[in-house]
Amino acid sequence: MTRTLRGRVAIAGIGESIYYRRGESPDPEFVLACRAIRAACDDAGIDVTDVDGFASYSNDRNEPSRLAAALGLRELRFSNMQWGSGGGGVSAAVGNAAAAIAAGLAECVVVFRALAQGQFGRFGQARKTARVSGEAALTVPYGLISPAQTFAMRTMRVLEAHGVPPSTLRAVALASYHHAQNNPRAIMHGRPLSADEYDASRWIVEPYRLYDCCQENDGAAAMVLVAAERARDLAPAPVYVLAVAQGGGYRAGAPLHNDPDYSGAGFATVAPRLWRQAGIGPADVDVAQVYEDFTGGVVMALIEHGFCAFDDAGEVLAFENLIAPHGGLPLNTSGGNLAECYMHGLGLQLEAVRQLRGSSCNQVPGARVALAASGPMVPVTSTCVYGTQETLA
């Protein structure tokens, strides 16, 4: 028997809270999580008490037992957390939920993420401390402190060693901001970004300028997953999980920047497994949602997923080719982490579902296959591909 998730589980509902700038949410994180979950259940046409499982990532603080009590669940059958690597766990959480349903461990699983940075502190800021130990003792005293500094080094390696032009980073940022202008949910809606404004923006850490870096936000997002047979009886058009892959390459978690594939995004071994499981390839993808804490990781992820090579990245990853509706590779069509909201990448999964339902603010005509790749440049990445009913024929 072939072991696969292809077509066995579907996304039945998606939901989110209002998105806020960091520190501006009037509600605590737990309330935001509950609102997003309820919204996703409403979207699916499912009573929230039918939920019997939760999956999340990056040590989300909102424990399933507490959510189950607050939402009135009749029974909690599945409670799952993806270990480590921050946003690298987004697609993995979807895969874990789908696997639980396919294996009969649960019937209706919610994947969620909530952040209230005003309540718990800035998510992307270096922590202040009087002393450091371990790996930090060999980086912090020399100025290697923040996430931007850490990931900038890997991106610079790609630009210098492989000749990928910096224009690719600018194209990713401009595409995200372009799409946000049509998305009223986006924090950067009404704040367009021009190429001149990008070029004039301040350096954060070379090669990243201000607009290469994601936002810091408050909010929550959620997805409801059920078995494919059940999804067909629900109101929204089901969006099927075609494949999910997660993992890391040889010594990907080696400390102190000793990963042997230092110019990689972490998908070199993961993406081929995704395509094999899905039975499709990059040429079949109509729209891509790629986690962008920083633009460099998007460029590297698209290369490792096979959409282009180092040599032609500058041509393929050009602004005109990355925008909906007519670009060859529409990218981050909600505005993504850069311009919609940094909901730790789960918003990108919701946008993949919207595209295949035909309800995106930047709809790609006839979209049938959507990629959602999570957390480039971390030790454990994950990636997911979704499809419409037509893709299962």
Is 291 a residue of the active site?
yes
Q: Which residues contact 69 (CB under 8 A, 6 or more apart)?
A: none
3-state secondary structure of 16: strand
Nearest to 55 by CA among 87, 84, 81, 76: 81
Catalytic residue among 177, 211, 291, 386: 291
Residues constituting the chain? 393
195 within 8 A of 185, measured Cβ to Cβ:
no
Extract the runs of DSSP E, i.e. beta strands, from the chain. Answer: 9-16, 20-21, 53-57, 78-82, 108-115, 203-205, 208-209, 217-227, 239-247, 287-290, 369-374, 381-387
**DSSP structural state of residue 84:** S
303 within 8 A of 313, measured Cβ to Cβ:
yes
**DSSP structural state of residue 21:** E
Q: Where are the alpha helices (DSSP H) in 181-335?
A: 195-200, 228-231, 270-278, 295-304, 313-316, 319-322
Instruction: Report the distance separating Cα 180 and Cα 175, nearest Å.
Output: 9
The number of angstroms, rounded, from the C-alpha of 175 to the middle of its chain's C-alpha atoms is 16
Catalytic residue among 57, 177, 211, 342: 342
Instruction: Report the distance separating Cα 320 and Cα 322, nearest Å.
Output: 6
348 within 8 A of 334, measured Cβ to Cβ:
yes
In angstroms, the Cα distances linking 240 to 93, 216, 253 are 15, 30, 32
Instruction: Report the distance separating Cα 27 and Cα 62, nearest Å.
Output: 14
**Radius of gyration over every alpha carbon of the chain, rounded to an integer in angstroms:** 20
Instruction: Report the distance separating Cα 19 and Cα 271, nearest Å.
Output: 31
The catalytic site residues sit at: 291, 342
